[in-house]
Amino acid sequence: MDQWDVVSDPFERPKVYRHKVPLIKSPNGSNGVYLFVVEKRGVAPIALHDMGEDIVPPELRFLVENEPVEIGTVGKIPKRNAENYLNLAGEGNEWTLHRHAMLNLNKVPKSATSIPFRLKSPEPSNPPGAPVPKGPNYSLFITAAPMATVRGVIEGPALLGLR
């Protein structure tokens, strides 16, 4: 359980550390989806990933008593600044924080020892082969290959962290 200890140093600015154990591991095990708790009133824990590029954030669903429960969309971990801080809690990031807030976590039974999940990218809004618009905002319409669907089970320390 020491992997869930909070690390802080009173002589330095607070940092956002990516957790050692991802909530969900990628198929190759080197990346994953991480749960971030933001110290800002009214902001729910958010889910971010480092599993590759995507334009449309993948959707996360749990299976609770054989019913799919929408948990939210999982955003890409932002780049670090020069001081190696993740730019999450500052002004201008409210959209990211609220867009990737985790929902319906109260539906996870307290007695559950594991919870099945599915992480899937929805269909891109610009299908492959469609003409790419020209102009100053053309990069908004370029779509990357969608992330493969990832299924598995959350258990152990990851489930404890989720609670």
User: pLDDT, tens digit, for every residue of 42-100?
Assistant: 778 889 898 877 678 899 999 999 999 999 999 888 776 666 666 665 556 677 777 88
Residues in the chain: 163
Across residues 141-147, what is the average pLDDT? 55
Which token pair is 129? 């082969």
Q: Confirm whether pTM is higher than 0.75.
A: no
| 80 beta partners | 86
Sequence-distant (≥ 6) Cβ neighbours of residue 8 within 8 angstroms = 14
Which token pair is 155? 């258990």
pLDDT over 80 at 136, yes or no: no
| 157 beta partners | none
Distance CA 105, CA 93 (A): 23
User: What integer pLDDT is reported at residue 60 of this predicted model?
Assistant: 95
User: What integer pLDDT is reported at residue 139 of this predicted model?
Assistant: 47
Which token pair is 63? 């299976």
Distance CA 163, CA 107 (A): 11
pLDDT over 60 at 112, yes or no: yes
103 vs 131 pLDDT, higher one: 103
